[in-house]
């Protein structure tokens, strides 16, 4: 299948906001809408957006219906998720994957939205790993402009420079990845993405070093690291908390160096993306080049057309 790059956005274009995972905090959402400053015409229904059922933003069937409606809407130019949390994997089987190609549009999110970005990747529709509406109130100007640039500019170009070299080398492939925990949960399911030849990026939040070790070992045993062309590591936020009863546990950096430093593919650290303060956007599904020796990640194509 040919890669589809959705049409670029222009200021004022209609953009759907969907809560497909956890409940949305109204205060953070309102701050995000204000920070967006009317850049796009945000389309959402408050009764759906602020619905709650335990740790979910409403019933599975309703969240799925809202998401599929946005996917199928030919007038909707993009979908920005309201927030992450948990719940997208519960509705993956019902998402209109064919509709992603019939009415292609940029889909933006991270964290739990890794599952949806992985589906876009396998459907060969470019998407964006980037901040969600509830994040915008706390974004730096650089992170905000990073997303706007990917949505509105079809030109390729440098994504990151100044990365830290772990394993030298140069790799080309389609960029894919996201949250380590969510990605690991897709392994062995019908929604496991095709890692062959990809440049894989990973980030994580709130996992002890031994849990990150376990997740990385899972990916290795599943053959992921043998399949990919290269690896980029972003922020592993709040992963160095002390474990009760453990004296001087290894740091998260120790785990990353030990698990990834022995691989036979290029590996770079220090990508400014994830759950921390840095939220640069990444064009998922498009060809990129990772030069781990020089510490540079470059997009060969833009995320939009």
Can you spell out the DSSP letters for 185-223? HHTTSTT----TT-EEEEEEES--HHHHHHHHHHHHHTT
Sheet holding 287-291, edge to edge: 157-160, 296-299, 287-291, 170-179, 199-205, 230-237, 267-269, 164-167
Other Cβ atoms closer than 10 A to 283: 25
Per annotation, catalytic residue among 207, 275, 281, 289: 275
Under DSSP, the state recorded for 58 is: S
Place of tokens 């040919």: 2
Residue 111 appears among annotated catalytic residues: yes
Q: Which residues contact 215 (CB under 8 A, 6 or more apart)?
A: 180, 181, 184, 204, 207
Residue 264 appears among annotated catalytic residues: no
- Dist. CA 45–CA 78, nearest whole Å: 16
- Dist. CA 38–CA 61, nearest whole Å: 30
Per annotation, catalytic residue among 21, 48, 111, 134: 111
Per annotation, catalytic residue among 129, 184, 203, 281: 203
- Dist. CA 206–CA 64, nearest whole Å: 28
Can you spell out the DSSP letters for 83-119? --SS-HHHHGGGS-HHHHHHS--EEEE-GGGHHHHHH
Burial of 187 (0-12, 13-18, 19+ CB in 10 A): middle
Residue 275 appears among annotated catalytic residues: yes
Whether the Cβ atoms of residue 259 and residue 213 lie closer than 8 Å to each other = yes
- Region of 206 on the Ramachandran plot (φ > 0 left; ψ -120 to 50 alpha; else beta): left
- Dist. CA 104–CA 73, nearest whole Å: 10
Question: Which residues are catalytic, by number?
Answer: 111, 203, 275
């Amino acid at each position: 299948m040919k890669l589809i790059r959705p049409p670029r956005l222009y200021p004022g274009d209609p953009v759907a906001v969907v809560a497909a995972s956890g409940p949305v905090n109204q205060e953070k959402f309102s701050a995000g809408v204000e920070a967006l400053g009317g850049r796009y015409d945000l389309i959402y229904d408050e009764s759906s957006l602020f619905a709650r059922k335990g740790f979910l933003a409403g019933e599975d069937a309703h969240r799925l219906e809202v998401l599929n409606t946005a996917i199928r809407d030919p007038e909707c130019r993009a979908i920005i998720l309201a927030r992450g949390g948990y719940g997208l994997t519960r509705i993956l089987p019902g998402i209109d994957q064919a509709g992603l190609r019939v009415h292609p549009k940029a889909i933006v999110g991270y964290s739990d939205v890794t599952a949806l970005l992985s589906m876009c990747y396998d459907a060969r529709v470019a998407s964006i790993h980037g901040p969600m509406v509830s994040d915008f109130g706390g974004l730096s100007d650089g992170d905000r402009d990073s997303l706007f640039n990917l949505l509105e500019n079809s030109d390729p170009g440098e994504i990151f420079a100044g990365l830290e070299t772990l394993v030298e080398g140069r790799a080309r492939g389609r960029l894919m990845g996201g949250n380590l925990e969510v990605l690991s949960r897709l392994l062995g399911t019908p929604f496991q993405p095709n890692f062959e030849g990809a440049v894989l990026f990973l980030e994580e939040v709130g996992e002890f070093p031994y849990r990150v070790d376990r997740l990385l070992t899972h990916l290795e045993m599943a053959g992921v690291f043998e399949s990919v062309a290269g690896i980029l590591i972003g922020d592993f936020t709040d992963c160095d908390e002390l474990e009760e009863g453990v004296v001087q546990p290894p740091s998260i950096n120790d785990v990353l160096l030990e698990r990834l430093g022995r691989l036979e593919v290029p590996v770079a650290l220090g990508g400014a993306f994830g759950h921390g303060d840095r939220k640069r956007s990444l064009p998922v599904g498009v060809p990129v080049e990772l030069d781990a020796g020089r510490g540079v990640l470059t997009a060969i194509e833009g995320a939009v057309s």
